[in-house]
Homo-oligomer: A and B are copies of this chain.
Amino acid sequence: MPEIRWDLITEERVIVATERSRRPHDFKKADSEPAPKPEFVPNCPFCVGNEAMTPPEVDAFREAGTAPNTPGWWVRVVPNKYPALAPEGELQPRANGIYTWADGVGVHEVIIETPKHSETPVVTSLSQWTEVMRMYQRRLTTLAQDHRLKTILIFRNEGKAAGASLEHPHAQLVGLTFVPPVLQRHIEGVSRYRSRHGKHPFEAIIEQEVREGVRVVNLTEQFLVYAPFASRVPYEVAIVPLEPMARFEAMPEEMTQAFAAVLQDTLQRLYRVLNDPPYNYMLFTAPSGYEGEFWWHLRIAPRLSIDAGFELGSGVGINITAPEDAAAYLRQAETPVSPN
């Protein structure tokens, strides 16, 4: 019997159609491990040595004495070559008859996570991956200075089916002059839950998930990794800090390293169980200048199915894998993928 499940925060419904349930194997692209990638690809704009192929860098972690846009970096940030938004323009909306529009003001950056084409998050060293997290924090902190930006969203597209056009490991950052609907609904849901139940929904979720265990993927001293009860897609995973914290960029040094470890471990589990699946992850941190209650978190959405007319026309997801099954497979996965 299919189930309708309510998201605790947004109250939106998801259909979990267990009749169609699939084992991880059915989602796998191939039985064999993916082919190893070369360390350097001559025409890859993100490979070390090819710095001239990108717009000039806006930030980097690099060896002392090396010049911008030359080798010597280990994490590098550049403007997106095909930006969805532009840094300068008129913020004020204008009318076109009955319609409203404005200049597309905002920031669109690429965070190149390694000089090496082959150094994916799954195989990179923990120290390198921690540096990547530090760069996420540094960009969030730096861009918070631009008071036009209300929201800064960091996301990662892995694999063509997840919208990645370049293979070299990278994340993207978009700074928006407004709070977008997904974040707005989250904030409203948190506030509604707080007023009804006197606590943040993540407090209730952590309590029940840790007690029940069936949707837990991993539990560390500081983080819970779990398959949300109303997961919209198969093998969806959320990572939340166990204690409330509004901003990702406010994590102290050791906690950042602990988060890097838990995120890497989670990506390794997905890699193991689903054989290098395409996925998106999205980092939700408090909107700039927002003083209300917020609890930062990260959501990973593997791209194993395609939203079709039903999902587009209703806004309701059909998830063919029960979150409890997904969590069990991910919990049992062998990590690490390679020594690191």
Contacts and interface: CB of A to CB of B under 8 A. Distances in A.
Interface stretch (A81-89, A257-265, A328-336): A81-89
Interface stretch (A25-33, A34-42, A177-185, A266-274): A177-185
Given A6-B101, A85-B2, A103-B3, A164 B310 contact: no
User: Most B CB atoms within 10 A — which of A83, A155, A205, A284?
Assistant: A155
Interface in A79-123: 82-86, 89, 93, 96-105
A104 B15 contact: yes
Contact of A313 (B8, B84, B284, B308): B284
Contact of A2 (B84, B185, B212, B307): B84
A15 B85 contact: yes
A180 B101 CA distance: 27
B5 A101 contact: yes
A301 interface: yes
**Interface residue tally of chain A, by bracket?**
35 or more
A104 B155 contact: no
A5 B84 CA distance: 13
Given A16-B104, A83-B17, A312-B282, A8 B212 contact: no
Contact of A314 (B153, B156, B313): B153
Question: Taking the full assembly, how many copies of this chain does it contain?
Answer: 2
A310 B93 contact: no
Given A98-B205, A308-B157, A316-B180, A4 B103 contact: yes
A308 B182 contact: no
28 contacts: A2-B84, A2-B104, A3-B101, A3-B102, A3-B104, A4-B93, A4-B101, A4-B103, A6-B93, A6-B101, A13-B180, A17-B83, A20-B82, A20-B84, A98-B205, A155-B313, A157-B308, A162-B308, A163-B305, A163-B306, A163-B307, A163-B309, A174-B314, A181-B314, A181-B315, A182-B314, A182-B315, A299-B313
